[in-house]
Structure 1
């Protein structure tokens, strides 16, 4: 009885054993699992050549289809760019654009900006636009006056007015950049998006430090650094908008102002380079050469080298020197030419 029941119990126990203890089943199962993925991957490789799994045809069958696909891809990229400009806080359903494109989403997000903020922000850029246009005009006038084409304006006056216009644009740009940074301090004081402490305060003061440091530079270099400052500040505003530190429309609002200021700065630098006086051939270089020539004539020669036989004689009472050193000619007489004299003041 015990032997019979023992055999039956061992047989039943083996039947109820897990699959890991069955060597034949384990080999068969592992063989099937390794073979199936290879077949599936092979089918996926063949399916990648067709854009449609039903028709088995490529995405672009004709030139017209290829143009349509390229147009759709570009449109999708522009749509994603519009969402990135808005800080990534808007979706298509939330803004409800009239057309799912760059201009459609941008226009829809712009409508969410309060009208007084948008109007006053763009109005503040009018003096900057005027200063940029004045800079380009005066650069053209200064270039013509320096070349002698414009005769009713003195070249020195034209260059002076151009320098004043550039300084005005630099100082007004410093004011704008400082103001855009100070907005973050106001958001921190009001607790918009929560109190962030030193990070937001540091973000607000950094543009002012950069802006007012540029006024110590030459106007062209100052404009270049301010352009970098406006671009970097918009990038920071885009990131903090996505983080919830600002209103949802703030990144889009700042994008308009950055485009406005950046266009003016690039236009001013391009106008100066194209219309302005050429470096090394302008009025300033000419004046420096004239001043150096006048100083050379007025100041006495304190040192020099005279070759050959020389002699020293007393200077005239009307002269500026007590001793005159001069070279003798071949005949033994003194050479009184200007090239043979060197004056030494005792």
Structure 2
């Protein structure tokens, strides 16, 4: 099987290359994202392996199908960037990695919370300049605080388990309640109640038409003054303009984002010598109570190994006329 990768980085080549010793596929790697500008470069490939910011529109999928591609393997959990109806229309099988390392993302959400709260990033820079003053570094105890978890899939569950250890009160919202979490003390509540009561809100739900701009001007009004919002899921869950207003008015006390609405123009690239033409991200990063990371929550060795293993196993099974071992991995 010949597989063409898009948005490929050195670590993708490393992990997929090592695990491919078992499968014996032929790989072609493109660092650019998949879209209309590059789709015609795909030649004699059985499969395309795509990532979070690739654009698998109906037109791109049509061209891939015309060029003989049979399988689309998403090496991520999310699939909001692929037109599944078009994939069905053109006879493409689509798979994903529904669960690689939920702990990786949950632990990064915690890292963002603690960094924003205890200001360890500011303390690090201070002491390197021999400034040992504590002024401006005061945080708050997480113990006893109300943590709102929006989405209790694998990552949300992992995050809930972590926050239980801090002695927090855990509120959750999901269309499907998890009995094990309820037994462990997590209380499911309406979304409006979660917004109203939570000191910290962490987003772990997928991006769908219903969740697009879940955090907006109206929902921000429901939240406590000085609320902390953490997003390690998808950028489109947050209305950036509304959040900027909330930061300016000081209603939002802390914002940690590992994802961003317009991240496909920025993330996974070295733009250190570039003048960014995205005013919103520049404004966000100018606030002292905002922490931005570049979609790195998934980025652990364990997660990358699981992503590569699951992706290649999915493709192998599909090529044999079998379905993926995890039913949730098959989208079309």
TM-score (normalised: structure 2): 0.22
TM-score (norm: length of structure 1)? 0.22
Structure with greater strand percent: 2
* Structure of higher RCO (CA pairs closer than 8 Å, 6+ residues apart): 2
Q: Which has the larger radius of gyration?
A: 1
